[in-house]
Amino acid sequence: MKVILVQDVKSLGKKGDIVNVSDGYARNMLLPKKLGVEANAKNMNDLKLAKAHDAKVAAEQLARAEQLKVQLENSQVTVSIKVGEGGRTFGSVSAKEIADAVKEQLGIEIDKKKLQLENPIRELGTATVLLKLHTKVTASLKVAVKEA
């Protein structure tokens, strides 16, 4: 019997896959536990429409990420930090502070987890920070660190 998987099933397939299983396995395991549905014409059409919808949503997300990348790469954010004698800084600029500065200065909501800082910024000047906006889109943002 052919079955369309509704959820990932270990050692059988992923969600949306069409698998051929024995009638007993489908009738006693997959269908009652709502792990799959029978692969008839209606369900095949529903699967096709769902995949088309998912592809459209993914394309829209990619386009939004590309748009945001252009907007971020053409701008700069200023963050202030306390500085002591001899130009030594107290502490560092964290991803949360950069995300808050982007929201405050540019009006763009960015998750701090998307910022890719190898090390916290500890010196004055301009630094470039990478942002992972999408699996295929990475933007660079200029962060100017000045004395508070």
Give residue 14's pLDDT.
94
Tokens 């919808």 locate to 53
Helix or strand run (H / E) with residue 42: helix 41-73
Provide CB contacts within 8 A for 126, sequence distance 6+. 76, 142, 143, 144, 145
Mean pLDDT, 10 residues at a time, over the chain (148 residues)? 94 93 95 95 95 95 94 92 83 91 92 89 90 93 90
Give residue 31's pLDDT.
95
Give residue 85's pLDDT.
82
Helix or strand run (H / E) with residue 102: helix 95-106
CB 80 within 8 A of CB 148: yes
